[in-house]
A and B are shown apart, each in its own frame.
Chain A
Amino acid sequence: MKKENRQKSEHEFLRAFLQNKAAVISTVIILLIIILSVLAPFLTRYDETGQDLLNRLMPPGNGHIFGTDELGRDVFTRVFYGTRVSLLIGLFPTVLAVAVGTVAGVCAAHFKGAADFIIMRLADVMLSIPGMLLAMVVLYTLGGSLTSVIISLILMEWGGIAVVVRSAALEIQECEYVTAAASIGAGKLWIILRHILPNLLPTLIVLFTLNIPSSILSESSLSFLGIGIQPPQVSLGLMTGTSRQYLFSSPHLVLAPAVMILLLVLSFNFLGDALRDILDPERKTL
């Protein structure tokens, strides 16, 4: 692709993006949530783990926007600290899973034969264990913590990504420009870096965006069950899980983290959908 062409296609992408209402609105909401949770320490005068046993289970109001929890901690503060963890969980393991899945998928498509067979059967193995139970195996061995949740998410996600990347890479390999490049003596690595990866980019962007919400969902579920992130670390799922016993007496304790999880997941899903419509209108690969 020539430089001018690439600039032109970037320009087109930007225009299509700005015309898509769902894409713009969800991006704005996501950016707002990111800014608020980064600035969280400056927005609140409370500490996310600071207890105030005299003011336990307070309803919203009185200086506590979302009230206080069973240990008198400010729920508003905790929701934004929990959101930081959710964002980290949404982005970091997903980047790694996409990286692993891409390398695996491209290798399988490129080397074919035995490598293809082994990589794809390994992906099948990962995909035939329900995600939650695969994570439970990891968490049994490593114990509940942020790191082990991240490792389980990568294990859960790379297989599905590899399958999609492989089929997309196979399609690109069949294209005339790749055969042409090979016929004038281009090396394998050159073809992968110069032709296959750039053309995979739209697929990868969509895969990445759609895996963010599922990472956030999985982490919150594991932490809700008490086997994911452990206190005193804050997590939206963990907050929902511990507040469960006050569901009928102080529903706001459950509502605040639940709404935040929903908002995050919904915005990323909307964004992923919109990106897919823009980048892959014929739904060839996804």
Chain B
Amino acid sequence: MKMLSKRLIGVIIVLIGVIALVFVMLRVIPGDPASVLLNEHVSQENIDRLTQSMGLDKSLPEQFVDYLGHAVRGDLGQSYFFKQPVTALILEAFPYTLKLTLLSIIFAWTLGIISGVISAMYNEKFLDYIFRPAALLGISVPVFIVALFLQYLFYFRFSLLPLTYDTSLLSLIMPAIALGWNSAGSVARLMRSNLMEQLGAPYMDTALAKGLLYKKAVLVHALRNAAVPVISMMALQLSGMLSGAVITESIFSIPGLGKLALGAIQTRDMPLLQGTVIFTALLIAIGNIVADVLATILNPKIRQESNR
């Protein structure tokens, strides 16, 4: 519990850091936002009024404190382009990204764990020589190439799946595979090296000496221990997936967070981009804490240390 509260404080510090960084980076831009927003035929008076209503006449630190105060209460400002609260837009887009990411994680973990285990159990044998380079290929292919390849294959060649997202689960299959492909590769690599380490541990000899079958010993004992680092890596994967979601959502036109952020760049919608980036950082922070808790539950060693 003590470890958790310590982690929580660390996460909050980092999140405030994220807000500060994004806030400053988006404001070092030359020119004032109010006049960019209105067209050039608007009088100075109107520009001033908008500047004031946007709070842009205050100093940068004052603006930051204002923004932070509102952000804590869940108010991320007003979108320039949609003329709606940023928070509402984000919450509308989030379920799509969540669904996509969850499906990708299921795909990546299933494929990654199975191929990692096969690779480790048949180390330096035929199957390993297939699965190991395959995993490296997994982490080497850009998301957009997987996506285009899938579209060519399953839409154009075999017409099995819809080209873009149409709210059906079927149309999420290609996006989920495209987004999960990289993670599957890294899970497989991590799983392989962890399991190899566990297979050499003394408890494996004991299990085998007791007469347990090799395959059963692997599945019952070694796999559980090897899975802990994979779970700890979950937050890192989440970060990679949210990056990949920008590309996947754009290719398959899924109205999620990535598409929202990309649209915000194209329409120069600063509050929307700012809000989306901060929201993804929050997601990663939550992912970090969940991964920590899961690892603690699964690994007695960490559990003991944290109880001390």
**Chain A contact residues, CB within 8 Å of chain B:** 121-122, 124-134, 136-141, 213, 217, 220-221, 224-225, 227, 237, 240-241, 244, 247-248, 251, 254, 258, 261-262, 265-266, 269-270, 273, 283
Contacts and interface: CB of A to CB of B under 8 A. Distances in A.
Nearest to B19: A125
Contact of A140 (B142, B143, B151, B268): B268
B17 A124 contact: yes
A-B pairs with the 4 shortest C-beta distances?
A132-B243, A125-B17, A130-B242, A130-B243
B141 A262 contact: yes
Chain A CB within 10 A, most for which of B148, B276, B285: B148
7 contacts: A121-B17, A124-B10, A133-B246, A134-B277, A137-B22, A225-B247, A240-B145
Interface string B4-19: 0000001001110110
B277 A136 contact: yes
Interface stretch (B23-31, B68-76, B81-89): B23-31
Per DSSP, are chain B's interface residues mostly helix, strand or loop, or mixed?
A: helix
A50 B156 CA distance: 31
A102 to B, nearest CB: 21
A212 to B, nearest CB: 12
B119 to A, nearest CB: 14
A281 to B, nearest CB: 12
A269 B140 CA distance: 7
Contacts of B261: 133, 136
Contacts of A141: 25-26, 28-29
B164 interface: no
B14 A131 contact: no
Contacts of A240: 144-145, 148
B273 A124 contact: no
A164 to B, nearest CB: 13
Contact of A258 (B145, B247, B250, B251): B145
A133 B142 contact: no
B198 interface: no
Contacts of A129: 18, 21-22, 277, 280-281, 284
Contacts of B288: 128
A5 B62 CA distance: 60
B139 interface: yes
A137 B26 contact: yes
B240 to A, nearest CB: 7
A128 B14 contact: yes
A258 B152 CA distance: 14
Interface residues of B, number: 52
A251 B151 CA distance: 11
A127 B17 contact: no
B121 interface: no
B262 A227 contact: yes
B265 A261 contact: no
Contacts of B284: 128-130
B173 interface: no
Given A136-B273, A140-B273, A225 B250 contact: yes
Contacts of A122: 17
A131 B277 CA distance: 10
Chain A CB within 10 A, most for which of B22, B145, B258, B265: B145
Given A130-B240, A240-B144, A221 B26 contact: no
A137 B277 contact: yes
Nearest to A132: B243
Contacts of B137: 266
Interface in B150-170: 151-152, 156
A128 B264 CA distance: 20
B296 interface: no
Contacts of B171: none
A273 B25 contact: no
A169 B100 CA distance: 40
B242 A265 contact: no
